[in-house]
Amino acid sequence: MDLKAVRTFVAVAETGQFQKAAIDLALTQQAVSKRIGALEGELGVRLFTRTARGAALTIDGQAFLPHARALLQAAERAAASVRPGSRALRVDVVGRRLATAGLLRDFHRAHPAITLDVVTLSDADEAVAAVRAGAIDAAFRAVTRPGGQLPDDVRATPVFDEPLQLCVGPAHRFAAAPAVTPAQLAGHRIWMPGAAPGTEWRAYYDDLAAAFGLTLDTIGPDFGIEALLDALADSATLATFFGRRTPLVWPDGHDLRRITLHGPTPVYPHSLLWRGDNPHPGLTALRDHLAALPVEHPDAETWRPSWAQRRTPPG
C-alpha cells in the first residue's frame, strides 16, 4: 500500500478539506485528489463524500482511519529503528567478561543516552565481514593481518594493550612466585581450551608460544571459564593466561593465584574496527571516547606480535 496516499488520506480526514490537507502536505489540491482517488481504487471503496464544508468520511473511510494511522505509526517505528542516532549502536566484543567489554561499559557510563547492542562474534574474520555488511557498527578485535591490512572500507585503530597474567592453582610450582618471566614458563603446560585455529587469539598465543618456547595445549572441549578454574585448582601442572582486566571469581577453596608476567610483559593488542562511511553518531562518540584514553605502559618492557600495531598517545 502506498504510504504517501495513506498519509494524504489521514491529512484530509483530520482537516476535513482537500485544500487544507494540500497546504499541510505542501502539495497541490489536484495531487491530493489524485492520491485519494488511487487509494480508493486500490481499496475498492469510497473514503470521502464531498460536502459544502469540504470532505466527510464515509462509513468505509471511518473504518479505515484507525488502521491508516496504525500503518503510519508502524512506518515511523520501522524508519526509526535504522535511523542514525535512534538505532542502537551495535558493537562486537570478544567476550562479555573480558577487557573490551569493560571498555564498552565505561563508554556507556560516560554516554548513557547512547543505546548499545552488544554481540559476541566468533572471530576477527567474521567481525570484519559483519562490519562491511553493516550488521554491526564496530568490533573490538586483534588485527592479525600483516601491517593491519584490511578491506579498503574497514578502518582499524589500536585502543588498548592488555597485560597478561599467569593463573595457577595452589600446588603449582609458581604458586608462591610474586612474578615470573615468559622464559621461565618454557616447557610448562599452558592450557588454552577453545583457542581454535584461525582465530585471532590463537594466532596471538601461537606467536607467544613460539617466542618463548611455551607448550600451548588447546586440547579438550571449552566448558567455559568456571570449568577451567576448577581444573586449575586441582592441578599441580596446569596454567593458563588471563588479561589483567579480566574479572575472575572462584570458590574459596580453589585458592587460585594470578601472577604478574614481566621481563617482558606480554600484552594483548585490542583494536577497534569500523566501516569508514558509517554515519552513526554513537560510533563517532565511541571512537572519540577511546581515543581520549591514556596510553597505559605499566611495564617498561612489553612483548607483542610483529603484526600488532602500537597505540600512540592521544592528542
Res 283 pLDDT > 90: yes
Predicted pLDDT of residue 251: 87
Taking the C-alpha atoms of residue 86 and residue 113, their distance in angstroms, rounded to an integer, is: 10
| 224 band by pLDDT with thresholds 50, 70 and 90 | confident
- What confidence tens digit (pLDDT) does each residue in 65-114 have? 999 999 998 888 788 766 666 688 999 998 887 888 999 999 999 999 99
pLDDT greater than 70 at residue 313: no
> Residue range 236-258: average pLDDT?
90
Do 232 and 151 form a contact (C-beta atoms < 8 A)? Answer: no
Helices (H), 115-155: 124-133
User: Domain coordinates of the chain in residue numbers?
Assistant: 3-80, 89-303
Q: Select 89-303's CATH number: 3.30.1490.20, 3.40.190.290, 3.40.47.40, 3.40.50.300.
A: 3.40.190.290
- How far apart, in whole angstroms, are the C-alpha atoms of residue 182 and residue 266? 8
Domain spanning 3-80, CATH class: mainly alpha
Please state at what angle helix 281-291 crosses helix 99-110, rounded to 10 degrees. Answer: 110
What is the SS3 assignment for 50? strand
Mean pLDDT, rounded, for 158-186: 94
pTM over 0.85: no
156 membership: H or E segment, kind and range = strand 154-168
How sure is the predictor about 149, in pLDDT bands with cuts at 50, 70 and 90?
confident
Worst-scoring range by mean pLDDT, 143-147, 174-178, 219-223, 274-278? 143-147
